[in-house]
Structure 1
Amino acid sequence: MKRARILHAGRDQWAELIDGDSALRLADGTVVAAADAEWLPPVTPGATVFALGLNYADHNAELGFAKTQATPLVFLKGHATFVGHNGASPRPADANQMHPECELVAIIGTPARNVTRDEALAHVSGYTVACDYAIREYLENYYRPNARVKNRDATTPIGPFVVDAADIADPQALVLSTKVNGVEVQHGSTADMILDIAGLIEYLSGFMTLLPGDMILTGTPHGVHFVSAGDEVVCEIEGVGRLVNKVVADQ
């Protein structure tokens, strides 16, 4: 099943995708054409959102860092940073080094505390796609991304929908790609994560309780390409979704 969060009749509602993803059915049975939907980020209000830096060896090498890290580089994201499918992300006027990062997102479905990696994926309810823009002019420390790089308003498109975990046979065998104005600028596989999803859940649940709705953005493969206002960015993950976003000038 695929579920999306949309704005309809002035209300924030969850809907199920039907008819080959061409329409959405609301809880009351109302059907909305996907092309007419106003897509919202499929993020549960109040959920904790984790993000990973330097979790792909090829991206680390691209940036001139060690291919592996002793411990995961984890940071948190505020909810204002998210924007839905077909949304717009502002590029600051003083930034020329803003680039998209396609990421698989794991969504927690049941509480997890001190779980082993063998148990970890049983706590995942679904997956979605994120485009976690980085703005390198604001980066103070590559190893600990600061708030101005990863928490600017509307600079993390996410969606379009959540795919049930049962529909993804192996989350560590998915192709990721990013296209800017139709040209591929990122290509990789989730198989290349340094710490896989099960390992990330084991690590995080070892010191805190993960709750339903919590999300883990799992990092990005190699491919740094700076974007400009007016660019269309498409992040796609095999079997999970195709996320479209527009870069606009920050007013």
Structure 2
Amino acid sequence: MKLLRYGPAGHEKPGLLDEDGNVRDLSGHVADIAGDVLLPGSLARLRALDAASLPRVEGNPRLGACVGGTRKFICIGLNYSDHAAETGAQIPPEPIVFMKATSAMVGPNDTIEIPRNALKTDWEVELGVVIGKTAKYVSERDAMDHVAGYCVVNDVSERAFQAERQGQWTKGKSADTFGPTGPWLVTADEVPDPQALPMWLEVNGHRYQNGSTATMIYGVRFLVAYLSQFMSLQPGDIISTGTPPGVGLGQKPPTYLKPDDVVTLGIAGLGQQRQNVVQG
């Protein structure tokens, strides 16, 4: 299934994408794509519905972040061997973990706002892992039982805030609009191997990132198990798993986002995003 949330910001309704690419309304069955709706039993009940019998949403509605009520937006840094090489960083002996504020989450086609006083706003296409069942001290063997599905994330980053202003990375990752998420949550049964997904990102039609989840250092199974040793992972939590090479920081010379840029990105089978860039 491809689950989504549509409508004005802050007032999104639950929906799904049918086989013909139509948005179907799920409001008669669930209140939101959030919380217990992501449990395995709840997803099974949604999967059993006849999509053609659901109300069709006319027009081209705005899509919100594909998951609601997210309490933790957990990011993994330098998790692609080829990206680590491009930045001149050593491969970390354990995953680099940081948090992105959930208030950064926006829809997949919403505007990206460059923060005031920002100097180096960058892009990062990433595979998002959506937790469907609480994970606490789980093993790698059982880790995938706790994954509801996957989505596209643009981990927008302000490098000057992140690396030149002291302290942790969070303040360079958490500005409003820095977390476009979606367009939809693709349930895990439709993604047989999350470590074999081509991914790409373009700015103004120029392709900067052209990678694959195959080069992740720490894969989805490991990350779910690893993170669950330090904190419980709850339904709706998102793990953004790192980015392949081609970020603006790695260009020669470095290249960063500016007002009027257009960012497009996608992951095979998970959909695409498109964002206009403005000055905040």
TM norm structure 1: 0.91
1:58 match: 82
Aligned to 1:77: 100
Q: What are the superposed Cα offsets for residues 52-106 of structure 1, whole Å, 9 maximum, x if unpaired?
A: 111111111111111x211111111222111102200111353342111000001
Per-residue CA deviation, residues 187-212 of structure 1 (Å, 9 max, x unaligned), is 11101111001110111112322111
1:15 alignment counterpart: 15
1:30 alignment partner in structure 2: 55
Pairing 1:210-225 to 2, within 5 Å after superposition? 210-225=233-248
SS of match in other structure, 1:40: coil
- Aligned partner of residue 208 in structure 2, secondary structure: strand
Counterpart of 1:86 in 2: which secondary structure? coil
Supply the distance in 1 between the matched residues of 2:9 and 2:72 (Cα, whole angstroms).
28
Report the counterpart of residue 188 of structure 1 in structure 2: 211
Q: Does 1:238 align with 2:268?
A: yes
Q: Give the superposed CA RMSD.
A: 2.1
CA distance in 1, matches of 2:145, 2:71: 19
1:41 to 65, 76, 79: 65
Is 93-102 or 169-178 further displaced after alignment? 93-102
Check conservation: 1:73, 1:144, Cα contact below 8 A.
no
Q: Which runs of 5+ in 1 are unaligned?
A: none
Equivalent residue letter for 1:30: P
- The TM-score normalised by the length of structure 2 is 0.82
The answer for unaligned runs of 5 or more in structure 2 is 29-53, 249-255
Alignment of 1:53-202 (within 5 A): 53-66=77-90, 68-140=91-163, 145-202=168-225
Higher strand share: 1
SS across alignment from 1:170: coil
Identity across matched positions, percent = 35
Out of 247, 258, 271, the residue aligned to residue 228 of structure 1 is 258
Give, as a single letter, the amino acid of the residue that structure 1 aligns with 2:86. E
Is the CA contact (8 Å cut-off) linking 1:130 and 1:235 kept in structure 2?
Answer: no
